[in-house]
Structure 1
Amino acid sequence: MSGPPTAGTRPDEVRRHNRTALLRRLHVGGPCTRAELAAELGLNRSTIKALVDGLADAGVVVEQVSAKRTGAGRPSLLVLPQPRSLWVLAVDVGVEQTTVAAVGFGGEVLGTRGWTLPRGAGTPDDLLAKIGTACRRLAERIGSEPVGVGVSVPGVVRRDGYVHEAPNLHWEGVPVGERLSAALHRPVLVGNDAELGALAEHTRGIASDTADMVFVSVDVGVGGGVISERAALRGSGGYVGELGHMVVRPGGRPCYCGCRGCWETEIGEDALCRALGLPEGSPREAVVGELRALAGEPQAALSRLREFTDWLGIGLINIVNLLGPQLVVLGDLLAALPEAVVDEAAETVRELSLVSRAVGGIRIVASPLGKEAKIIGAAELAFQQALAG
């Protein structure tokens, strides 16, 4: 959340700032009383009353008596966000599955549409047209227009929504934001899938109270999202987070990027299939099923995934040494790893990372949001802009 308005700020800017802060609090934190809003946001009660009354008149919130009574006197009224009053479209473009969701104010999912495709099948034009149709049908079902659109793509994404490269989709130079904006007649925000996974965990997941964290995503490829001092670290042009292309094994397997021995070749989906004794390119359900079968057998899991765990630990050491996060969240397929494997990799980092030994307390955990992280992140990307308007 942004800081307080500076001296000399116009009254209308102050009101807009306060309204945005209130909307963000209700969207992320859920229902609360006016008194709680005043205390948390540092605003006086008359300001909160004016803001809440305005939102109630617009149908964005309603107030009702809390079921919990504390003491005598007039009961406190809860301010509740109304999901259908403000809603966004969230799109997760996966390598094998695409999902479109309508997400309401407060985070409630109002409807979804999804479909699967063979890896790399279909052209960008075909997929974007299908996404546009799914978005319009969801809007028709809800009976109103979205206030924003957010899209997650597994590739190198420029700030303006131009996908420089999405190799596992076989995309190159695709202006996703521009094309979907033209199809839907509204601005569309596009982000890298791992970057949006980090946003989801920081907003609604295990990293909500953490200022500095890294989200590591393993799908077909490997990516990362970085939150630094509670803000996304994006770098020049937005191209930050290609953690899968750290070279960890010089002379190792060739990677599509042109290098050999990238981290992606050692812990990506195909590498995990090899470690589990499955054919490369096996269905996601088969991979997750094998991992779940090992969940209750820690020694078997460590034995079977020994080399995979070693390479996972080596990459995490590099990440911790470079970025010094408080928390590393393992997402997508890594979220399905047996607990013993995650603990072993975390112990390796504690023992061998210089930064971890110096700072202490760096946690490495599996994502509680799992496969939902990217669609949640796409929704939150859209809400960030919509609630600030």
Structure 2
Amino acid sequence: MSSTITEGARPDDARRHNRGAVLRRLHLDGPCTRAVLATELGLNRSTIKAVVDGLADSGLVSERLPSRRSGAGRPSLLVVPSPQAALVLAVDIRVDRVAMALFGLGGEILGRLSWRLRPGAAVPRDVITGVLESAVVLASELSLPVVAAGVSVPGVVRHSDGLVRDAPHLGWVDVPLGEQLTAGLRMPVTVANDAELGALAEQTRGVARGVADMMFVAGDVGVGGGVILGGRAIRGASGYLGELGHMVVRPDGRECHCGCRGCWETEVGANALCRALNLPLNIGRGELYAELRELGADPANALDRLADYTSWLGLGLVNVVNLLAPRLVVLGDLFAALPEPVLEVVGTRVRERSIVSRAVEYTEVARSTLSRDAHLVGAAEAAFSPILEAAVS
């Protein structure tokens, strides 16, 4: 007869785990009392006291009275993450602009700037130089050290080292972005596909909070998707999963820059949307968003003018839902700006035409709540991840 001995966690391991759980809870969900921490994390009050005191001694959290009080007696102190205890730089590189922001612990944006890119002028060297110079400007405004960076890129990115294998709308091929920014910024840099970071942002701070199986599908010049299943990001070989825009939906359709015909992004990307609305293909993003807002005021007209576009959008989403079985699909960028009647039709088609959607008691389709900051927020959270792990050691 044999027996199995299960060893308990060592005290140091337990302390690190508890410290990490408390810090992550405060970083993602904001201030709360010690009592709430104990209830949510299933820890006793003496353990919470030891953890909070340790984090406070490290300068990672502080305690203060709530700004609003109710009832008699002294209110319980709130445990608050200290934003300036750890700053990260988030960078969102797009076809037409670069946006940057400094995020403090807890997710607060402490500074931001952006600049436009001329069409066809996104030369890697110039973009990298701009990022390095702008990082100095942002950091100097706060006079605080930045400890890590996250970068969003609209292309195929190798997860291990941030090599941009192919970003066709930028004209980039085999750009060692992670290596060059790590050297230039002198800090750890995480580079990832923009849609993957959009999914991370929505699951941590957006409409998909608490949803373990979700997708972020974003439409801009191109179309991409980020996938989180079972609470974990799904990346595929080398991190290249997510090029949903190059799923062929119309074999006799328009030629795509990838070499195929009838890719999904040729039917639902920015150019396709401009064609549907009889707008110039080179229209500025601000003007296109304004056109969509105006169209939203006339539901019948919106459904009529975007009838074919809506059909292709729904078709592609049915395919990806059947393949990946998310409970929630979050639409970002231009998709999130589509008029509400269009999104209602798309959601209905996914529920009715996807066998997987019906099997999981219907997949919900929702618009992003983070607007155009989704990629920045995701980049920041990617940068924070190793910091939160290091902070518990």
Task: State the TM-score bracket (shorter-chain normalisation).
Answer: over 0.9
CA change 1:122–1:225 in 2 (3 A) is closer
> Does the CA contact (< 8 Å) of 1:119 and 1:168 recur in 2?
no
2:186 aligned residue: 185
Q: Which amino acid aligns with 1:288?
A: Y
Where do 5+ consecutive residues of structure 1 fail to align? Answer: 1-5
Structure 1 residue 84 corresponds to structure 2 residue 84: yes
2:3 aligned residue: none
2:285 aligned residue: 284
Whole-Å Cα distance in 1 between the matches of residues 7 and 320 of structure 2?
40
CA change 1:140–1:69 in 2 (3 A) is closer
Identify the range of structure 1 (161-170 vs 43-52) with the bigger mean alpha-carbon deviation: 43-52
1:140 aligned residue: 140
Cα deviation 1:259-307 (Å, max 9, x = unaligned): 0000010000110110111111211011111110011211100000011
1:3 aligned residue: none
> Does the CA contact (< 8 Å) of 1:198 and 1:377 recur in 2?
yes
Whole-Å Cα distance in 2 between the matches of residues 250 and 122 of structure 1?
31
Whole-Å Cα distance in 2 between the matches of residues 37 and 123 of structure 1?
48
CA change 1:124–1:274 in 2 (3 A) is same
Whole-Å Cα distance in 2 between the matches of residues 279 and 7 of structure 1?
67
1:17 aligned residue: 17
Whole-Å Cα distance in 1 between the matches of residues 139 and 15 of structure 2?
30
Secondary structure at the aligned position of 1:22 is classed as: helix
Whole-Å Cα distance in 2 between the matches of residues 269 and 279 of structure 1?
11
Whole-Å Cα distance in 2 between the matches of residues 384 and 57 of structure 1?
21
Could you list the runs of 4 or more consecutive aligned residues of structure 1 that deviate by over 6 angstroms after TM superposition?
Answer: none
Whole-Å Cα distance in 2 between the matches of residues 40 and 119 of structure 1?
50
Whole-Å Cα distance in 1 between the matches of residues 7 and 170 of structure 2?
49
> Does the CA contact (< 8 Å) of 1:328 and 1:363 recur in 2?
yes
Whole-Å Cα distance in 1 between the matches of residues 112 and 386 of structure 2?
22
How much does 1:164 deviate? 0.4
Whole-Å Cα distance in 1 between the matches of residues 228 and 360 of structure 2?
18
How much does 1:22 deviate? 1.1
Q: After superposition, where does 1:1-389 map in structure 2 within 5 Å?
A: 7-67=7-67, 75-159=75-159, 160-389=161-390
Whole-Å Cα distance in 2 between the matches of residues 117 and 68 of structure 1?
45
Whole-Å Cα distance in 2 between the matches of residues 84 and 288 of structure 1?
35
Question: What RMSD, in angstroms, separates the aligned Cα atoms of the two structures?
Answer: 1.4
How much does 1:68 deviate? 5.2
Whole-Å Cα distance in 2 between the matches of residues 358 and 184 of structure 1?
48
> Does the CA contact (< 8 Å) of 1:61 and 1:80 recur in 2?
yes
How much does 1:13 deviate? 2.8
Whole-Å Cα distance in 1 between the matches of residues 217 and 339 of structure 2?
16
Q: Which amino acid aligns with 2:333?
A: D
Secondary structure at the aligned position of 1:208 is classed as: coil
How much does 1:145 deviate? 1.3
Whole-Å Cα distance in 1 between the matches of residues 138 and 183 of structure 2?
17
Cα deviation 1:58-82 (Å, max 9, x = unaligned): 3222111234556665531111112
Identify the range of structure 1 (161-170 vs 45-54) with the bigger mean alpha-carbon deviation: 45-54
Secondary structure at the aligned position of 1:329 is classed as: strand
How much does 1:7 deviate? 4.1
Whole-Å Cα distance in 2 between the matches of residues 353 and 336 of structure 1?
24
TM-score (norm 2): 0.95
Secondary structure at the aligned position of 1:220 is classed as: coil
> Does the CA contact (< 8 Å) of 1:89 and 1:103 recur in 2?
yes
How much does 1:9 deviate? 4.0
Whole-Å Cα distance in 2 between the matches of residues 129 and 241 of structure 1?
28
Q: Which amino acid aligns with 1:275?
A: A
TM-score (norm 1): 0.96
Whole-Å Cα distance in 2 between the matches of residues 122 and 367 of structure 1?
27
CA change 1:378–1:277 in 2 (3 A) is same
> Does the CA contact (< 8 Å) of 1:245 and 1:263 recur in 2?
yes
Q: Which amino acid aligns with 1:34?
A: R
How much does 1:361 deviate? 2.7
Whole-Å Cα distance in 2 between the matches of residues 274 and 149 of structure 1?
38
> Does the CA contact (< 8 Å) of 1:34 and 1:49 recur in 2?
yes
Where do 5+ consecutive residues of structure 2 fail to align? Answer: 1-5
Whole-Å Cα distance in 2 between the matches of residues 51 and 247 of structure 1?
52
Secondary structure at the aligned position of 1:387 is classed as: helix
What is the aligned length?
A: 384
